[in-house]
Amino acid sequence: MTTTDYERNVVLSTNSDFKVIGTRPVRHDGVDKVTGRAIYGADYVASGLLHGKILRSPHAHARIISIDTSKAEALNGVRAVVTSADFPRVENKTVELGEDETKLLDLRGNVLANDKVLYVGHAVAAVAASNPHVAEEALSLIDVKYEVLKSVMTTDEAMAEGAIILHENQTTEELGTDSGIVSNVAKHFQHVKGNIEQGFKDADIIVEREYNTKTVHQGYIEPHNGTALWSADGRLHIWCSTQGSFVVRDSLSDLLDIPVSKIRVTPTEIGGGFGGKIPIYVEPVAALLSKKTGTPVKIVMTRKETFEGSGPTPGSKIKIKVGAKLDGKITAAHAWMAMEAGAYAGSPVGAAAQCVFATYDLDNALIDGLDVVVNKPKTAAYRAPGSPNAAFGMEQALNELAEKIGMDPIDFRLKNVASEGTRRPDGPVFQRIGAKEVLEAMRDHPHYQSSKANGIGRGIAIGFWFNIGFDSACNIALNKDGTVNLIEGSTDIGGSRTSIAMQAAEVLGIAAEDVRPSIVDTDTVGFTAVTGGSRTTFATGWAAYEAAQDVKAQCIERAANIWDVKSSSLQMEDGIISSMSDSELKMTLKELAEQMSSTGGGITGRAAINPRGVGGSFCGNIADVSIDEETGKISVERFTCVQDAGKAIHPSYVEGQMQGGSVQGIGWALNEEYFMSNEGKMNNSSLLDYRMPTALDLPMIDTVIVEVANPGHPFGVRGVGEANIVPPTPTIANAVYDLTGNRMTELPMTPGSVLAANNK
Amino acid sequence: MALVFIPSQMRTLSEGKNRVEVEGTNVKQIIENLDLMYPGFSGRLLEDFKIKPSISIAVDGEITPMGLIEKVSENSEVHFLPAISGG
């Protein structure tokens, strides 16, 4: 183990007046996870279980002329074959997908192609058979005739004059107005603040560059999976790995045209999601196959299918122009961002626009966003979607300006930093935020204060994610031994069941270990939105807080009845109910719980909320890199992550999120991309060739948790799951510049691109 | 009266104004009154008597899930934003 002369994991706490919050209990699901006892979707077994496999398009863009399934259906062991024709006819309404919305026919077309395939890997048909091998053999017997069309793979190709059009009925939407122009640009929007022309006239120095990023996958270890049982009574039960069981339920209801009350979704344990497990892929296909066969059908994607047939985050082209006075005050900034939506409209460019300038207090700003369809898989969310792409450009531009002005890059940012009352270019005014505190913690960190060794380049950057609220429900039942059972609907992708349980424990004055949290199916708990947008510890934690307050109020009422006093004379603190006027009247929660049945029955608290008060989170990095002169390989030698958590409920989980987001961002910076052939085929669709960083590639990520309490949450929580992936790419690019003098404007920064820049 | 911020792409409707004071105690009334002052806003913002899926409404800095029934106070700020997604 390496020793250091500083603390590697620091919590800069503003409020430590808690008993449970801020501690580091062992996670409730820890033993099951490390002993292999936890049940994941692929583990599902049932009597008569059939195995489904999906036939996928070999073409990036083609019209489907015909599909002949007769030979496959005749194969011994095959029980059913389905295509998009097996979906019921539905109205092309807009449907909600957790945090996102889409047209129903686009959703259906992505699950099983309608008349066209729009990317290599696009699902065309599916088979259910007695075992996976027979199902695979049957796929080879399905005869699909295609009319192959030219494809478009980049925003440049898609927006070019006379470009091949993916959707003949898609016209550009301009914030509520249909332009009527058939185009691959699904949406164009603009945010304007102040006078951008005057702002640039007032600038002493202007920097302007174009930045390009590639398609990147979330890289969750567990592939998509789903098992469906469509019973004879018309009820559908789904077991799957998802970030939102209610999203799966509601999407299936829309696609299959059956009431939500007839669908039950049981979320299994999830082996990573990062946004990519919000959309549905195999669940409706398994449902159609189960409806035809009357037996349960399980579909598990391969790794290749996960890369080619699920939703990565987009490649993008971004132009950033920023002007500043010689004293370091930014006078104007313009961002133009075109993002690949993939096969159907819906890139995260809108979110990118909310983040690109959010860290700074700008008088004059202009943001143009374009959502562009291309012949790649439909993009899905990935940690702070869109924001890392935007920050890659903006945060390099700021370092460039700081250098030209002659200011330290952190001081330059501090001179322009946003704070409470700052109006973002997209409109909203910030409540209390921690951007300044994060920058100050970076500046004061031993890493930034240390001198650099020879051959080391140092970079910094900061990023933002706004976080969301949305619906959450929680029920808490008091047990007779004073422990509680907590049920909630937020699938746990990062340790949230413990952070939620800790908030209930804090209210009830009991240990975190005395709360037993369970994540249950959609029949068993109230509507709960997706685990995404860094909302779960904030919103479902708040629901647990409210449900625990309900339990607490009932306990006080029950004690008042027992002692024949007014409930207003009692209090409950640290798990003890006591009178505020009579010191003799005192009992523990456990003592009360033992009397539940004889004093009125069980005590159950509940809450269903859709909270306001969401607090955005800022995250900054400091990175030291070295470069192998012969190969151009960049090595990260030291990396520090600083993030505002509002209040870290479980600091180890917050540190885990910060380290995980940092590592994913470093992978995005250095290695990860979809290598696409000219024909639109992904050439590296395995984890051997799609190179994600491992523990052996990186140093330990040092963390600093800054706590600027969110006034909108009972405990001050801000979500921490996403902002940490935003700054790594510009941080490393700035470090490379510091070492080489070369501005890296393309991701990933491969050894080849480093050598090419050196040789320019 | 609430202060309604007009996005650049809708300013052709508001005679170029980027901010307009509008009476109303909820988003529905704000849009109705805005449409009376500057016809065309309802068509840009509403579809089937609901906020268009491509648009989000922010009141006092927070995107509201309540849509047209979201309460608006005398000093509120109302923004029309493109709908966004998260991770």
pLDDT exceeds cutoff 80 at A2: no
The CATH number assigned to the domain holding B49 equals: 3.10.20.30
Q: Is A173 within 8 Å of chain B by CB?
A: yes
CB contact (8 A) between residue B87 and residue A176: no
What CATH topology corresponds to A153-430?
Aldehyde Oxidoreductase; domain 4 (3.30.365)
pLDDT cut 70: percent of chain A above it: 99
Q: What value does the mean pLDDT take over residues A474-479? A: 98
Give mean pLDDT, residues A6-19. Answer: 89
Say if residues A718 and A706 touch (Cβ distance below 8 Å).
no
Q: What is the pLDDT of residues A369-415, one digit of tens each?
A: 999 999 999 999 999 999 999 999 999 999 999 999 999 999 999 99
Contact list in B for residue A721 (CB cut-off 8 A) is 87
For chain A, the average pLDDT equals 96
Q: Residue A427 and residue B58: Cβ atoms within 8 Å?
A: yes
The chain B residue lying nearest A529, using CA atoms, is B65
Measured distance between the N- and C-terminal CA atoms of chain B, rounded to whole angstroms: 36
Task: Indicate whether B87 belongs to any domain.
Answer: no
Averaged pLDDT, A440-450: 98
- Packing angle of the helix pair A728-740, A751-759 (nearest 10 deg): 40
Q: Which of residues 705-734 of A touch B (CB under 8 A)?
A: 721-722
Task: Identify whether B17 is part of a domain.
Answer: yes
Q: According to the model, what pLDDT value does residue A98 have?
A: 66
- Measured distance CA(A440)–CA(A202) in Å, rounded: 28
Q: Give percent of chain A above pLDDT 90.
A: 93
Mean pLDDT value of segment A321-328? 98
Alpha carbon distance B62, B51 (integer Å) = 16
pLDDT, tens digit, for every residue of A258-298?
Answer: 999 999 999 999 999 999 999 999 999 999 999 999 999 99
pLDDT given at position A558: 97
Count of C-beta atoms within a 10 Å radius of residue A37? 10
pLDDT digits (tens, 9 = 90+) for A23-43: 999 999 999 999 999 999 999
Does B78 fall in a domain?
A: yes
Do A175 and B54 make contact, defined as CB atoms within 8 angstroms? Answer: yes
Q: Give the DSSP letter string of A173-241.
A: EETTEEEEEE-SEEEEEEEEES-HHHHHHH-SEEEEEEEEE--B----SSPPEEEEEE-TTS-EEEEE-
Please give the Cα distance from A717 to A469 (Å, whole number): 12
Q: What is the predicted pLDDT for the residue at A576? A: 96
The predicted-structure confidence for A107-139, as pLDDT tens digits, reads as follows 999 999 999 999 999 999 999 999 999 999 999
Query: What is A276-305 written as a DSSP string?
Result: TTSS-SSHHHHHHHHHHHSS-EEEE--HHH
Q: How many CB atoms lie within 10 A of CB A629?
A: 12
3-state secondary structure of A416: helix
| A225: pLDDT strictly greater than 60 | yes
Model confidence pLDDT, tens digit, residues A170-205? 999 887 788 899 999 999 999 999 999 999 999 999
Q: How far is B82 from chain A (nearest CA, A)?
A: 6
Cβ distance A721 to B62 less than 8 Å, yes or no, reads: no
Residue B8 lies in a domain: yes
CB contact residues (below 8 A), chain A span 583-612, against chain B? 610, 612
pTM score of the predicted model: 0.95
**pLDDT value of position A369:** 95
Query: For residue B9, what are the domain limits?
Result: 2-82
Residues of A with Cβ-Cβ distance to B82 under 8 angstroms: 175, 187, 189, 350, 353, 369
Q: Which of A202, A167, A191, A195 is nearest to A181 (CA)?
A: A167
Question: Nearest by CB to B44, which of A99, A176, A187?
Answer: A176
What residue spans in chain A does CATH classification 3.30.365.10 cover?
A: 153-430, 472-609
Q: What is the pLDDT of residue B84?
A: 65
pLDDT at residue B81, rounded to an integer: 85
**Model pLDDT for residues A330-359, shown as the tens digit of each residue:** 999 999 999 999 999 999 999 999 999 999
Give DSSP secondary structure letters for A3-37.
--SS-SEEEE-S----SSTT--PPPTTHHHHHTT-
Closest CA to A501 of A16, A19, A28: A28
H or E element, residue A638: strand A634-644
A565: tokens are: 């006093």
pLDDT reading at A65 higher than 90: yes
Which band of pLDDT confidence, cut at 50, 70 and 90, is reported for residue A3? low
Query: How far B63 CA lies from chain A's nearest CA (Å)?
Result: 9
What is the three-class DSSP state of A394? helix
| Neighbouring-strand partners of residue A572 | A577
What total number of domains does chain B contain?
Answer: 1
- Partner-chain contact B82 A468, CB within 8 Å: no
Architecture of domain A472-609: 2-Layer Sandwich (3.30)
Average pLDDT of the segment spanning A87-101: 78
A243 pLDDT more than 70: yes
